[in-house]
Amino acid sequence: MIDKNIVLQILKNNDLCVLSTASLSGKTESAIMALTVKDDFTLLMNTEPTSRKIVNLKVNQTVSVIIGGLKNDPSIQLDGVATLLEGDSAKSACSTMLSIHPELKDYGIESGTFISIKPFWCRYSDFSKNPPEIAEVEL
């Protein structure tokens, strides 16, 4: 069994992920996103307020996220519930993201929309091992 602290370290060691959302009718949309992960496994992201993912999240908050797995490193698949942050919550998310990734300031992060994702399902996969190590991890 994979320890959830290993999963947290992998999440924190990655700056990018793929976020997948779906409309109410089920039409999907995926995007590469900058990622910040808090100690409680909450994922923070930022995007343009008019993006398709924001339109989708307003009607369907369930998301999937994939992190890692590109260079024989382990990958993490997550399903979770996304919340669009406003007011003080958005300011706090902005501060947290900039404290970890100050380069995001160059992308106009302050004027974007902040997304918080609470995972409810996690799968760890390491295909560099023989046999591959695959496990669902309770967060």
Domain regions of the chain by residue span:
4-136
> Bridge-partner residues for 44, per DSSP?
36, 116
Query: Tokens 């924190």 correspond to what residue?
Result: 12
Rounded-to-5 percentages of helix, strand, coil across the chain: 25, 40, 30
Q: Per-residue pLDDT tens for 15-31? A: 999 999 999 899 999 99
DSSP reduced 3-state for 133 = strand
pTM tops 0.75, yes or no: yes
Report the alpha-carbon distance of residue 128 to residue 95 in Å, rounded: 36
Domain covering 4-136, topology: Pnp Oxidase; Chain A (2.30.110)
Question: Does residue 4 contact residue 139 with C-beta atoms inside 8 Å?
Answer: yes
Question: Does residue 49 contact residue 1 with C-beta atoms inside 8 Å?
Answer: no
Token output for 87: 């007011």
Question: Does residue 81 contact residue 62 with C-beta atoms inside 8 Å?
Answer: yes
pLDDT of residue 2: 87
Angle CA 26–87–19, to nearest 5: 30
Q: Per-residue pLDDT tens for 61-116? A: 999 999 998 778 899 999 999 999 999 999 999 999 999 989 888 888 888 999 99
Question: Does residue 54 contact residue 88 with C-beta atoms inside 8 Å?
Answer: no
